[in-house]
Amino acid sequence: MKTDIHPTLFDTKVHCNGCNTEFTTRATVPEITVEICSNCHPFYTGKQKLVDTAGRVEKFEARRKAAEAKQAAGQKAADAKAEREAEKARKNDPELEDIAEELKDQTVNEPAEVDAPKPEADDKSDDKTDEKTDSAES
């Protein structure tokens, strides 16, 4: 057997973050930290237990809130930019400003009016049906 090819074995201290248990074993590293061990794992204990030692849910919620805030800030910036461009366009064209004021007055003071076509077509169709009935009777 060759010499000096095997790793060095240590008495390793294993620490479980789930149940704060410590035990020793032999491994190639001096310390091992695990999130869940055989003392607290549901398979070995038979108990269903939610283990969130790393705070994954809180991290996710923080990332989601940060993304929503960033999106809201981006939307506000886009709205502000659109408003600035509209204001710039109004200043460059006074006629456009007059039209905008007139439209604003109309929409606030008057309800929307819908021009519906008058039923003149129905009157003409009645005349044609009368002619058809006259010719059919003779």
What is the pLDDT at residue 31?
A: 95
Question: Is 131 contained in some domain?
Answer: no
Is 89 among the domain residues? yes
26 confidence band (pLDDT: 50, 70, 90): very high
* CATH number of the domain enclosing 17: 4.10.80.400
Measured from the Cβ of residue 48, the count of other Cβ atoms closer than 10 Å reads 6
Return the closest-CA partner of residue 51 out of 37, 61, 62: 37
* pLDDT for residue 11: 94
pLDDT tens column, 63-103? 999 999 999 888 888 888 888 888 887 677 777 777 878 88
Containing structural domain, residue 72: 55-106
Domain count, the chain: 2
Q: Is 80 domain-assigned?
A: yes
**Whether residues 75 and 97 fall in one domain:** yes
Both 36 and 64 in a single domain?
no
Residue 87: name the closest of 78, 96, 74, 77 by CA. Answer: 96
Categorise residue 99: left if φ over 0, alpha if ψ from -120 to 50, beta otherwise. Answer: alpha
Say if residue 62 is in the same domain as residue 36: no
Claim to verify: residue 59 and residue 41 sit in the same structural domain: no
The residue ranking higher by pLDDT, 114 or 14, is 14
What is the C-alpha to C-alpha distance for residues 18 and 23, in angstroms, rounded to an integer? 14
Would the pTM count as exceeding 0.75? no
Q: Is residue 92 part of a domain?
A: yes
Same domain, 70 and 94: yes
Whether 77 maps to a domain, the answer reads yes
Report the pLDDT value the prediction gives residue 110, as an integer from 0 to 100. 52
pLDDT of residue 119: 57
- Identify the residue with better confidence: 119 or 41: 41
pLDDT for residue 2 is more than 90: no
Are 60 and 39 within one domain?
A: no
